[in-house]
Amino acid sequence: MSTEVGAGEKPMLARFKSECPALYSSALAEAKRLQNAYVGVEHLALASLGDAASPLAAALKQIGLDAATLKRAFDKEVGSGNSYSATADATPRITAVLALAASEGKMTDRVIVRSLLLEGESLFARFLAAQGVATQKLLDVLDGTEPGEASADATRLAGRSPATASPTPTAQAPPSPPSSPSAGAGAKIQPKTAIPVTFPTPTLDQWGRDLRNLAEQGRLADAIGREREIEQMITVLARTQKSNPILLGEAGVGKTAIVEALAWRVAQGVVPPILRGKRIVELQMGALMSGPSLRGQFEERISQIVREASQAPDVILFIDEIHTIVGAGGGGGALDAAQILKPALARGEIDCIGATTQDEYDRFIRKDAALERRFSPVQIAELSEEA
């Protein structure tokens, strides 16, 4: 077909086209069918599910699942756009998947499907988890082994940085005694899990506040009486759709403290597996908006932060007073921040927690339908005296 790829991603997609032409064409056809101006992991997954002879369809059949049925369900998760372009840009995540596949030597449909499953952070990965599909079973079938025998190889591949396709070390925490879930600030926390070294995020590090890091230093604490709100936030983050919680409550009720409590729990290791090792980074929007004298500087900073967060699957952005990204406060370029964030949110490239008041949500977020449908509200009421 005549569709081309964006200039910035041509080398990796060109190799994909050369070595797996049928799968490449099918992925682009899915992007066109859904009227998307990009080619991403979701299109690769849909193409594989739609081919009854593909390695993915065959593996699913061996574990008793029907690829066509899963495709119909995943199609609803992905949804359609309205901005198809003859020049399709590759998303950072599909580029990472292809880089992981390329590290194995010659690209084949089977190797690409394995890389798709090993990447583990995409919309498709979340969809499989929500459907109860065991990724390791699929990997075992693809490798022609009994369940469990491929674990070492899977671990070896998963340990590589998708962006560089080179071995990636892990920062293994030393053993530490169990901590009480009610422990407060003041005591340093030893992470309970190995934290993979991921794609560098220099711009995000400059303009963000790493809450998990602060929790590990003993500078944050759990939030007493907020178990329901924290559990609701975790539930939203684990979804395949509208997986970005937005905390709604009056000023001073403790919205930021609840997000800090989640970071504290991540540092403690007392969260579901999908959140272990995550970095919750608070984006300092005030500093970002007030610093640059030129609007273009602000937009470039936001764009770079989105790029870094897209390529670092361990990052969850936290934006307090998130209504400011759609023009509140009179900051030049604030409206453009929303336009930069929305495509990445729509593709599931980034995870984000927002916080604002109900009034500001109604005035700014709700009026932007494309932004509003990416978030799931979590109501934060004032704590009762009993709590």
Q: Phi-psi region for residue 28, left (φ > 0), alpha (ψ -120 to 50) or beta?
A: alpha
Q: What is the mean pLDDT of residues 147-176?
A: 35
Least confident segment among 29-38, 116-125, 170-179, 337-346 = 170-179
Q: Mean per-residue pLDDT for 245-257?
A: 95
Interval 356-371 mean pLDDT: 89
List of residues 6+ apart from 214 with CB closer than 8 A: 220, 260, 263
The C-alpha atoms of residue 200 and residue 150 are separated, in whole angstroms, by 29
Predicted confidence (pLDDT) at residue 82 exceeds the cutoff of 60:
yes
Give the pLDDT confidence score for residue 86 in this predicted structure: 61
The separation between CA 121 and the C-alpha centre of its own chain, rounded to angstroms, equals 6
- 258 or 370: which carries more pLDDT confidence? 258
Q: What is the DSSP letter of 209?
A: E
Average pLDDT over residues 322-329: 70
List Cα–Cα distances, 37 to 6, 123, 331, 338, 339, in angstroms.
Answer: 10, 17, 29, 18, 15
- Report the distance separating Cα 31 and Cα 13, nearest Å: 14
Q: In this structure, are strands 38-39 and 87-90 parallel, antiparallel, or unpaired?
A: parallel
CA geometry: angle at 368 spanning 363 and 372, to 5°? 95
Residue-wise DSSP of 106-125: S--HHHHHHHHHHH--SHHH
Determine the residue type at 20.
Answer: C
Tokens of 312: 């670092």
What the chain holds in terms of domains, given with CATH numbers, is 4-167 (1.10.1780.10), 195-379 (3.40.50.300)
**What pLDDT is attached to residue 327?**
58
**CA separation for the pair 322, 356 (Å, rounded):** 6
CA atoms within 13 A on the CB side of 221: 10
- How many angstroms separate the first and last alpha carbons of the chain? 62
Q: pLDDT, tens digit, for every residue of 34-78?
A: 887 788 889 999 999 999 999 999 999 998 999 999 999 988 888
Q: What is the mean pLDDT of the chain?
A: 77
CA dist 265 and 221 (Å) reads 9
> In angstroms, rounded to a whole number, what is the distance separating the alpha carbons of residues 238 and 262?
14
- With DSSP H G I counted as helix, E B as strand and the rest as coil, what are the percentages for the chain, rounded to 5? 50, 10, 35
Residues contacting residue 367 through CB under 8 Å, at least 6 positions apart: 326
**β-pair partners for 354:** 246, 319
CA separation for the pair 136, 148 (Å, rounded): 8
